[in-house]
Structure 1
Amino acid sequence: MAREIQITFDCADPAALSAFWAEALGYQLQAPPAGFESWEQALEAMGVPPERRNDASAVVDPDGTGPRLFFQKVPEGKTAKNRVHLDVRAGPGLQGDERMAALEAEAERLTTHGAKRLERHEPSPPLAFGHIIMADPEGNEFCLD
């Protein structure tokens, strides 16, 4: 039996990082619980003090097919290269210059939302199609593939 998965990010600012990944993936912030118009309203009703209201955030695929991304506040910063990372498929089905142009356009778009460009890897057929390594606003590496 296949399991549903969630991808969890440890971070300093869950609200900001969830907003970035919602933009990067075409996801949306998870809706508040039933009966509440906003997360602020729900957290107030749950008795969560204002200073703890950015301890967590989540984004979901609006189509319901992709995994939920959960962002949790932790006190320590990022200290090493990610052992697991996301590949954002910005050029599926494309090859050569057309593929790299699509990746470059997505890299430029995401930098306007706080991402940082790290490296470009050129295509080297027959197996490597080229990709761009990026970092999200908190330094977590991901690839435009």
Structure 2
Amino acid sequence: MATHWTLGCDADDPQRIAAFWARALGYVAEPGYDHPDGASIVDPQGVGPAIGFLRVPEGKIAKNRLHIDIRVAGEPPWNLAERERLIRTKVDDLVGSGARVVREESDGRHLGHVVMLDPEGNEFCVA
């Protein structure tokens, strides 16, 4: 049996970054979690791990060693045109929520993934 786990994240503004990731992942605020220097989001279906955000005094100074990849296109085999449409739609939505595009990765013909930064500058990918 797998062990239940939570991804813990440092944050400058826990509520803001939790709201961003809740929207990005389709999560919701964890019921009953009320902490002025923290926020927690959960998968409403109870499948994915919880993600907690705690306020820390220091800012981000280096590249993430661990990051979230958002897989909007599902698992292979893919219709590559539909996969690219799904990725671009999600990227546009996330930009509207405060994320920034860093770069697109492709094999020269097909979009592989888009590297982005969340509102606090943490790297993640949309594939």
Determine if the TM-score, normalized by the shorter chain, exceeds 0.5: yes
Larger Cα-atom Rg? 1
1:124 Cα deviation from its structure 2 partner? 5.9
**Pairing 1:57-68 to 2, within 5 Å after superposition:** 57-68=39-50
Query: Which residue of the partner structure matches residue 8 of structure 2?
Result: 8
How far off is 1:120 after superposition? 0.5
Amino acid at match of 2:3: R
CA distance in 1, matches of 2:45, 2:2: 19
Q: Which amino acid aligns with 1:69?
A: I
CA displacement at 1:121 relative to structure 2: 0.7
Cα deviation for residue 88 of structure 1 reads: 0.4
Alignment of 1:67-82 (within 5 A): 67-82=49-64
- What is the CA-CA distance between 1:129 and the residue it aligns to? 6.3
Secondary structure of residue in 2 paired with 1:97: helix
Where does residue 118 of structure 1 map in the other structure?
102
Give per-residue Cα distances to partners, 1:24-50, cap 9 Å, x unaligned.
Answer: 0000001116xxxxx4xxx6xxxxxxx
How do 1:1-145 and structure 2 match up within 5 A? 1-32=1-32, 39=34, 53=36, 55-93=37-75, 94-123=78-107, 130-145=112-127
SS at match of 1:24: helix
TM-fit CA distance, 1:95? 3.8
Q: Percent identity?
A: 39
- Higher fraction of strand: 2
TM-score between both structures, scaled by the size of structure 1: 0.79
Unaligned runs of 5+ in 2: none
Task: Give the residue type in structure 1 aligned to 2:46.
Answer: G
Q: Distance in 1 between matches of 2:3 and 2:117?
A: 28
Give 1:99 shift.
1.2
In the superposition, the TM-score normalised over structure 2's length comes to 0.90
Structure 1 residue ranges (4+ consecutive) displaced by more than 4 angstroms after TM superposition? none
Post-superposition CA distance 1:68-122 (Å, at most 9, x none): 0000000111111111111101111434232112111100001111111111011
Contact 2:104 2:111 in 1 (8 A): no
Aligned letter for 1:107?
V
